[in-house]
Structures are given as structure tokens and as C-alpha cells.
Amino acid sequence: MKMRRHDLPQLLVINPPGLFDYGDPFAAKFTVLRAWESPLPLPRFLSAHAQSAPALLCSAATRVTAGLLDLLPSLRIIVTTSAGLNHIDVPECRRRGIAVANAGEVFSDDVADAAVGLALDVLRRVSAADRFVRRGLWAKDGDFALGSKQLVGKRVGIVGLGSIGLQVAKRLEAFGCPVSYNSRTKKPSVSYTFYANVYELAANSDILIICCALTEQTRHMIGKSVLLALGKDGIIINVGRGAIIDEKELVQSLVWGEIRGSGLDVFENEPNVPEELLSLDNVVLSPHVAAFTEESFQDLTELMIANLEAFFSNKPLITPVMDKQ
């Protein structure tokens, strides 16, 4: 029995879509309430149109606070397109009996691939060599100067051994890299060496890879002392959040040669990137795209719909947000 349009459950979307398109797949199954398209200020819109909306679909750009929840008395489920939950007051949702589902591990492979790709690019100077060829310098100046370092045997230190960190470890092991890590808790099921703090990890690594979430504890966790411990032959890769690294200290250590190089997909103040980095040959810069492949966004669409359909059929959510352990 095909559901008529006004029978379709209401799905509220507050912010305009970014790369994720709230298009046809959602319109086919839900009555999508597009708050950003209304000339009304948000509270007026919600009061007029969203009082019986049971579901909210949001990205990390929508801040879900107690104040917002007060305006949505019928809300029962929130699905977010991100893995991170900094934008959602999860305890408040729990108090109100509102279920929350996130992107789960949909992005883990792609982010792990990006971390490995950036590490290879920095060590083997792939982007720099590609620029060298495109500028006609190979024919003109001769061989690309030797300076690249081997990946095999380099000690990899992973900060945050969650879903992404584990995928990074699995990949780099195949390249012959010994893996160690620092995480909130030691993981008994893995054989990688655990270091109780990031400083110790950095001191024993050649390649430091940031894969953890941004929290109050991890903000500026990578500062001057950790970078010095990593040392002048070390490289740092960040596919977490810009604010995990003290960016000023990072720039300084790169400019002064205190570390060998860096591959960065995230920055403290995106889309702004420190001027000094733009002219360095020992860095590879990426515009926060580690998760953004056609395939992962296709998978994300299917996952968001699957979570919503499960909810509306009273079945268990596919990627429910679990309480922190």
C-alpha cells in the first residue's frame, strides 16, 4: 500500500544541506520540513510547522541544545550525518527519551585511507614531485632531488584507537610498520603497544596519526612538548579535528625543522589555513575531505534512511549512539 504524501512521517531539517543532499531518497519516504527555506525566524517556524515532527535529520552544523528541544515537543529521534556528537546534548536527549543515531562507521575506511595517503604523500613527497613534473622541471632541471623517506619499518603511533584508528593500524601493518597507540583506555583485544600518554607515544613514533574525537580532554593535546618528542625525523598526520593540535606550535615546529613534515586534513579555523604552511614543501594540505567520497555519502544516505525506517517500524536502530564507556 503506497503511503499518501500527508501520511509520510515528518522529518525536520534545520540547516541547509552542505555536500550531503537531502533530496529524492528522503522525499520519497518522509515529509521533509525545510526550516532554512522559510522566511520565518527558526522558533516561529518550529512553532508553526514542527510541533508534531517526530524526527530530526541534522549535520554537525546544527546545534541540538535543550533550548532547541524545548521547541520540538514531539521529537522522538535525531539522526545525525556525522560520527562526532559535539553538536548534540546527548544527556539532555536521554532525559527526554529522544533516541539518537549517528553515522557509525560509514566514514572509517575513507578516513583511514586518507590518513595513509597523506602519510605516503608526506614521506615520499608525492604532491611535491607531481608539481615538479607539471612545472616542466624534470626535463629542465634533471632528477627530483633525493630526500624522500621509506615507509617500511617506520614506527606508527595512533592517537585514538577507535573505528578509524583501527582501520589505519590494519592498513599500515601491511606496509611493514610496527603500530602503537594511545587511547582513553587500553584495548585488550589488540596486540599493539599501548602508551599511557601522548608524549610517550610521540617519543616512540616516527609517524604520529591523530584519529581521535575532539573533546575537552583532547583540545590542544598535541603541543610543543609532544612535537619535540616526535622529533626532527617525525611526521604528524591529522584526520581528527584541527583543535586537537596547537596549530601555532605546529606551524613553528614545521618552519623551524623541529619535525620533518605534516599531512593535515583539518585545521583550527577552517577554511583558513596558516599562511606559513602554504609555501612549505614538507606539508600536504587537504580541505577537510577525508570522509567525502561518492561511495561513503551514498552509504550515509542509506544508513540515515535505514535508521529512520527502523525507528518508525519500532525496530532497533542500526547505529544508535551508545553511552560512553
Partner 1 sequence: MDAIGVLMTCPMFAYLEQELEKRFKLYRFWDFPSQRQFFKSHSGSIRAVVGNTKLGADSALIDALPRLEIVASYSVGLDKIDLGKYEEKGIRVTNTPEVLTDDVADIAIALMLGVLRKFCGCDAFVRGGKWKGGDFGFTTKFSGKSIGIVGLGRIGSAIAKRAEAFNCPISYYSRSEKPHVHYKYYPNPVALARHCRILVVACALTEETRHIIGREVMDALGPEGVLINVGRGAHVDEPALISALLEGRLGGAGLDVFENEPEVAEELLRMDNVVLLPHVGSDTVETCEAMADLVVANLEAHFTGKPLLTPVV
Binding footprint of partner 1 on the chain (CB under 8 A): 18-19, 109-110, 112-114, 116-118, 120-121, 123-127, 129-134, 136, 138-139, 142-144, 146-152, 170-171, 173-176, 270-273, 278, 284-287, 289, 292-297
CB of 96 to partner 1, least distance (A): 34
Sign of CA dihedral 279, 281, 282, 284: positive
Active site residue 309: no
DSSP code at position 11: E
CB of 298 to partner 1, least distance (A): 9
Q: Which is nearer to partner 1, 71 or 120 (CB)?
A: 120
- Distance from C-alpha of 16 to C-alpha of 256, rounded to nearest angstrom: 42
- Distance from C-alpha of 54 to C-alpha of 72, rounded to nearest angstrom: 8
Q: Which of 171, 241, 247, 260 is catalytic?
A: 241
Q: Which is nearer to partner 1, 105 or 309 (CB)?
A: 105
Left if phi > 0, otherwise alpha if psi is -120 to 50, otherwise beta: which for 96?
alpha
Q: Which is nearer to partner 1, 27 or 289 (CB)?
A: 289
Residue 26 is placed in which grid cell? 528522503
Q: Which is nearer to partner 1, 120 or 190 (CB)?
A: 120
Nearest to residue 238, comparing CAs of 247, 229, 225?
247
Q: Which of 135, 270, 276, 295 is catalytic?
A: 270
Kind of pairing, strands 55-58 and 10-13? Answer: parallel
CB of 57 to partner 1, least distance (A): 20
Kind of pairing, strands 99-101 and 156-159? Answer: unpaired
Active site residue 241: yes
Active site residue 270: yes
For the annotated catalytic residues, the residue numbers are 241, 270, 288
